[in-house]
Amino acid sequence: MLFTREELMETVKERVERCTACPLHLTRTNVVVGEGNLDTKIVFVGEGPGEEEDKTGRPFVGRAGMLLTELLNEVGIKREDVYICNVVKCRPPNNRTPTTEEMFACGHFLLAQIEIINPSVVVALGATALSFFMDGKKVSITKVRGNPMDWLGGKKIVPTFHPSYLLRNRSKELRKIVLEDLEKAKSFIKEG
């Protein structure tokens, strides 16, 4: 029997809601699975939910999310046309970086989401998302941003700075770099 992408994603959500594989489930208000168009060819992956995301159950709705939406618009991408999610689905207390154990306890949900959507490009927003796609290796985002990496199933991973980093470093140059990376990611979209 064939399932629709919506049905498959719903089962991921149900599994995330039942998950107790790491301590983050103890302190979360809501799980934040992801949202957007399941037929998109481009997926954006952040680190993990922050305060607003934990409150609402939606990814990237706080300040970093507003900036992400603005940057996407600037390169002609409508937020509702793409899929946005995170490596970890529960908020790390005080917005700390998720541990490697938390990241890999949760990561199979992200892999399932990518398999359901089957995009041609995944944009890794920041060092945590990038390290997930590099099997936990810590790589300097400054060194590799904008350089597409081949990943499973012919997909490209395009790393760029996390929007929170841009909020902390409000330079025109940095913003321009991220916009260039997003344009590059767009160029790898393969339709069909």
Name 159's bridge partners: 124
Cβ nearer to ligand URA, comparing 54 with 119: 54
**Residue 35 is a binding residue for ligand URA (CB under 6 A):** no
Cα(136)–Cα(12) distance, integer angstroms: 23
Residue 157 near residue 122 (C-beta atoms within 8 A): yes
- Strands of 30-142 (E only): list them: 35-36, 42-46, 83-86, 121-125
Cβ nearer to ligand URA, comparing 27 with 187: 27
Cα(16)–Cα(113) distance, integer angstroms: 11
Cα(127)–Cα(130) distance, integer angstroms: 5
Site string for ligand URA, 152-171 (x = CB under 6 A): ------------x-------
Stretch that binds ligand URA, among 7-15, 41-49, 98-106, 173-181 (CB under 6 A): 41-49
**Mind giving me the DSSP string for 140-188?**
-HHHHTT--EE-GGG-EEEEE--HHHHHHS--HHHHHHHHHHHHHHHHT
Q: Which of 47, 54, 102, 181 touches ligand URA (CB under 6 A)?
A: 47
Q: How many residues sit close enough to ligand URA to count as binding (CB under 6 A)?
A: 13
**Residue 46 is a binding residue for ligand URA (CB under 6 A):** yes
Stretch that binds ligand URA, among 11-19, 42-50, 136-144, 177-185 (CB under 6 A): 42-50
Cα(131)–Cα(85) distance, integer angstroms: 16
Q: Which of 12, 38, 59, 155 touches ligand URA (CB under 6 A)?
A: 59
**Strands 121-125 and 149-150, bridge-based pairing:** unpaired
Cβ nearer to ligand URA, comparing 48 with 119: 48
Window 72-101: residues binding ligand URA (CB under 6 A):
86
Smallest separation (angstroms) from ligand URA to the CB of 36: 12
Q: Which of 35, 53, 54, 102 touches ligand URA (CB under 6 A)?
A: 53
- Strands of 93-143 (E only): list them: 121-125
Residues near ligand URA (CB under 6 A)? 46-50, 53, 59-60, 62, 64-65, 86, 164
